[in-house]
Amino acid sequence: MTTGTTNPRMSLAQWQSYFDVGDHTIRFTASTLSGTERVHVDEQLVCQQLSWKLYNEHHFKVDGSPYVLKLFTLSLLHQKFRLELHRAGQLIDSDDIAWGTHYNISGFAAMAFLFGLVGGMVAGYFLYPSVSAAL
């Protein structure tokens, strides 16, 4: 069980969470760039959705039992999320994810801004030659 833990399996582009249920392993993967969320049971894709919502549910079955994996956004500012795994309406496991604590998000945002600024200046120089000729 992974209840109450911060999942270390993260990168800047995605994070994963694992749940062990009987003889099965349920893996949830979320892409922070595309918004794609995937649920795998024993490495077989059982659910995939594109979502930018603050709350999302994934419905699937394991050995004939209905499961729901719920993703809650606890804090966008601090990038904290909670995954809850429900079987037949009962909570059986959960995982708290604090994605923002693993990376310096403000540093990443500053670098993205800087590259955008420089890229815009270079594009402007070549797209508007009359302005650049005056310089």
Do residues 57 and 119 both lie within one domain? no
Residue 24, SS3?
Answer: strand
The CATH number for 85's domain is 2.40.128.180
Containing 115, the helix (H) or strand (E) segment is helix 105-127
pLDDT of 10 above 60:
no
27 pLDDT band, cuts 50/70/90, is very high
Does 111 lie in the same domain as 93? no
Q: What is the pTM of this model?
A: 0.65
Give the domain range for residue 122.
104-135
Same-domain pairing of 59 and 112: no
Task: Write the CB contacts of 65 (distance below 8 Å, at least 6 apart in sequence).
Answer: 87, 88
Burial label, 27 (beta-carbon count in 10 A; 0-12, 13-18, 19+): middle
* pLDDT tens per residue, range 90-112: 999 999 887 655 555 555 666 66
> Per-residue pLDDT tens for 42-62?
999 999 998 878 889 999 999
